């Protein structure tokens, strides 16, 4: 039965924190996946060219590209045969000619996880009626504000993030963080920078384990988690993009981004103990701004093959999109960032409301 216990609580164990304020490399990793099939089809190379409601996630400065008074978006995808589900919704509204406000909500979770810690009753008998089920879910609420600056071509924005993570009734955390971003247009080029978790983001974890669960942890040699504080270090994203117009109807958008990751060596292209650089590249071809084909390269990593040799790999993503009046539907076949080839079918929809000319 020990093996069952370990499988059931692997998620909880991976999130347990010993010590008061520890930096966790993969803290809030569900916020690194990305939103919107357009961006995922371009391998997340999007902080510079984003110009719609999804900018509340990618770079809040991009909210100023809204072409309507209001805009909403939804996205859903499932991974690992439907085991994990990821949902996203966002809404943005133009306040005036130089400012936009938006809100975003993300849910990532695994549902219907069996809890077998009380499978055996006090007399040592197996009773399947004692099995209960729980969910391990992560929520993020993001409020965004963007403002056009007096410097021509410069736009800035900021996010306030509230995070809720919950593992059944056993453990939960509340978190808070800030992001800041900017976009700058220079002639035919666009540049951007995005500082995620700029002041560091914290999660305050609390645990509520019954005596039976504590006994299971002790019996399986696992440490009982304690209330603690989890810290996410800042990450700096930089990008550049340009759109090439070949004919009045056909164009090509190209963007390259570089993610600067801190906190020790990561399995990315450029590694060091101080800072790691993870590059990724995306393309979007469009016809009459109605039909879109997308491709991207990203998620570079190194692994050892069966012969023990080091192998470098970078994963491609692809996507398509179609715009029908005020509705845009996007699809991507994309790897969502796990360093295992695990492609997902991602769908998203975007709707312009009360459409008007760009200000």
pLDDT in tens, 207-224: 887 776 777 677 777 777
Beta carbons of 62 and 69 less than 8 angstroms apart? no
The answer, yes or no, to whether residue 7 has pLDDT greater than 50, is no
Q: What is the pLDDT of residues 85-119, one digit of tens each?
A: 899 999 999 999 999 999 999 999 988 888 776 77
pLDDT at 15 over 80: no
pLDDT given for residue 23 in this prediction: 54
- Residue range 291-317: mean pLDDT, rounded: 88
Instruction: Answer yes or no: is 236 within a domain.
Output: yes
**pLDDT of residue 135 exceeding 70:** yes
Q: How far apart are CA 48 and CA 73, in angstroms?
A: 19
Is residue 3 a part of any domain in this protein? Answer: no
- Averaged over 24-34, what is the pLDDT? 78
Does residue 8 sit within a domain?
no
The CATH number given to whatever domain includes residue 264 is 2.40.160.60
Range of the domain at 110: 21-213+226-355
Chain segment 233-255, per-residue pLDDT in tens: 899 999 999 999 999 999 999 99
Within a domain: 61: yes
DSSP letter, residue 240 = E
pLDDT of residue 12: 41
**Residue 332 included in any domain:** yes
Q: What local confidence, expressed as pLDDT, does residue 1 receive?
A: 38
Which H helix or E strand runs over 107? strand 99-115
Residue 142: phi and psi, rounded to 5, are -125, 125
Q: How many structural domains is the chain composed of?
A: 1
So what's the pLDDT on residue 11?
40
Better-predicted residue by pLDDT, 109 or 340: 109
SS3 label, residue 39: helix
pTM of the model: 0.85
Helix, strand, coil percent values for the chain (each to nearest 5): 10, 55, 30
Q: Is residue 83 part of a domain?
A: yes
Decide if 117 contacts 5 (C-beta within 8 A).
yes
Q: Using alpha carbons only, give the angle 352, 355, 359 rounded to the nearest 5 degrees.
A: 115
Q: How far apart are CA 335 and CA 255, in angstroms?
A: 18
Residue 124 has pLDDT above 70, yes or no: yes
Q: Is 127 a residue whose pLDDT tops 80?
A: no
The confidence score (pLDDT) of residue 355 equals: 58
The predicted pLDDT at position 4 comes to 38
Closest CA to 226 of 209, 211, 212: 209
Question: Do the domain assignments include residue 252?
Answer: yes
- Flag whether 80 is in a domain: yes
């Amino acid at each position: 039965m020990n093996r069952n216990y370990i499988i059931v609580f692997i998620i909880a164990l991976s999130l347990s924190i010993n010590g008061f304020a520890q930096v966790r490399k993969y803290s809030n990793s569900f916020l690194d996946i990305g939103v919107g099939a357009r961006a995922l089809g371009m391998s997340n190379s999007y902080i510079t060219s984003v110009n719609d409601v999804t900018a509340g996630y990618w770079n809040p400065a991009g909210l100023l590209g809204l072409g309507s008074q209001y805009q909403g978006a939804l996205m859903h995808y499932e991974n690992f045969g439907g085991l994990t589900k990821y949902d996203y919704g966002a809404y943005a509204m133009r306040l005036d000619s130089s400012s936009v406000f938006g809100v975003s909500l993300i849910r990532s979770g695994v549902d219907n996880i069996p809890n077998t810690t009380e499978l055996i009753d006090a007399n040592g008998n197996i009773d399947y009626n004692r099995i209960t089920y729980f969910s391990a879910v992560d929520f993020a609420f993001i409020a965004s504000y963007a403002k056009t600056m007096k410097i021509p071509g410069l736009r800035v924005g900021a996010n306030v993030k509230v995070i809720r993570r919950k593992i059944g009734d056993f453990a939960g955390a509340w978190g808070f963080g800030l992001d800041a971003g900017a976009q700058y247009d220079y002639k035919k080029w666009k540049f951007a920078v995005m500082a995620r978790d700029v002041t560091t983001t914290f999660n305050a974890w609390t645990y509520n384990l019954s005596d039976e669960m504590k006994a299971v942890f002790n019996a399986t040699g696992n440490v009982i988690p304690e209330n603690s504080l989890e810290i996410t270090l800042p990450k700096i994203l930089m990008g550049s993009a340009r759109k090439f117009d070949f004919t009045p109807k056909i164009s090509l958008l190209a963007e390259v981004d570089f993610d600067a990751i801190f906190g020790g060596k990561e399995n990315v292209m450029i590694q060091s103990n101080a800072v790691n650089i993870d590059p990724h590249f995306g393309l979007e071809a469009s016809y009459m701004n109605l039909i879109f084909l997308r491709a991207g390269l990203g998620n570079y990593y190194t692994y050892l093959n069966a012969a023990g040799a080091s192998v470098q790999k970078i994963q491609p993503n692809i996507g398509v999109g179609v715009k029908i009046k005020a509705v845009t539907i996007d699809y991507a076949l994309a790897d969502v960032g796990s360093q295992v080839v695990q492609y997902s079918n991602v769908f998203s929809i975007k709707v312009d409301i009360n459409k008007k000319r760009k200000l």
